[in-house]
Amino acid sequence: MMRMKVFVIAALAFASLVSFISAIHGSEPHLSSFFEDNALLSSLSTQQPSQSQPLMVPITVINGAAAKGAVCLDGTSPGYHFHPGSGSGANSWLIHLEGGGWCNTIRNCVFRKTTRRGSFKFMEKTLPFTGILSNKPEENPDFFNWNRVKLRYCDGASFTGDGENEANQLQFRGQKIWLAAIEELMSKGMQKANQALLSGCSAGGLASIIHCDEFGSMFPKSTKVKCLSDAGFFLDAVDVSGGHTLRNMFGGVVTLQEVQKNLPKSCLNQMDPTSCFFPQNLIQHVQTPLFLLNAAYDAWQVQESLAPRSADPSGSWKDCKTNHAKCNSSQIQFLQDFRNQMLNDIKGFSGSSATGLFINSCFAHCQSERQDTWFADDSPLINDMPVAIAVGDWFFDRKTIKAIDCAYPCDTTCHNLVFK
Ligand SMILES: *[C@@H]1O[C@H](CO)[C@@H](O)[C@H](O)[C@H]1NC(C)=O
Q: Please give the domain boundaries of the chain with CATH numbers for all domains.
A: 5-419 (3.40.50)
- For residue 27, pLDDT over 50 is answered with no
Q: Which amino acid is at 262?
A: N
328 lines ligand 1 (CB under 6 A): yes
The pLDDT score that the predictor gives to residue 52 is 79
Say how far apart CA 25 and CA 167 lie, in whole Å.
36
User: Which residue CA neighbors atom 7 of ligand 1 most closely?
Assistant: 316
- For residue 13, pLDDT over 90 is answered with no
The 10s digit of each residue's pLDDT in 338-372 is: 999 999 999 999 999 999 999 999 999 999 999 99
Q: What are phi and psi of 47, to 5 degrees?
A: -75, 135
The pLDDT score that the predictor gives to residue 40 is 55
Q: What are phi and psi of 109, to 5 degrees?
A: -75, -35
Q: What is the pTM of this model?
A: 0.91
User: Which residue CA neighbors atom 1 of ligand 1 most closely?
Assistant: 328
The pLDDT score that the predictor gives to residue 7 is 52
- For residue 232, pLDDT over 80 is answered with yes
Give the mean model confidence (pLDDT) for residues 300-321.
98
Distance 313 CA to ligand 1 centre (A): 15
Say how far apart CA 323 and CA 174 lie, in whole Å.
34
Is residue 365 part of the annotated active site? The answer reads yes
User: Which residue CA neighbors atom 14 of ligand 1 most closely?
Assistant: 328
- For residue 35, pLDDT over 90 is answered with no
330 lines ligand 1 (CB under 6 A): yes
| CB distance 45 to 30 below 8 Å | no
Is residue 83 part of the annotated active site? The answer reads no
Q: Which residues make Cβ contacts (< 8 Å) with residue 264, sequence separation at least 6? A: 210, 213, 276, 282, 285
48 lines ligand 1 (CB under 6 A): no
- For residue 159, pLDDT over 60 is answered with yes
CB count within 10 Å of CB 293 equals 29
The pLDDT score that the predictor gives to residue 44 is 53
| CB distance 168 to 74 below 8 Å | no
Index of the ligand 1 atom closest to the CA of residue 328? 1
Q: Which residues make Cβ contacts (< 8 Å) with residue 337, sequence separation at least 6? A: none
Question: In the structure, what pLDDT confidence band is assigned to residue 420 with cuts at 50, 70 and 90?
Answer: confident
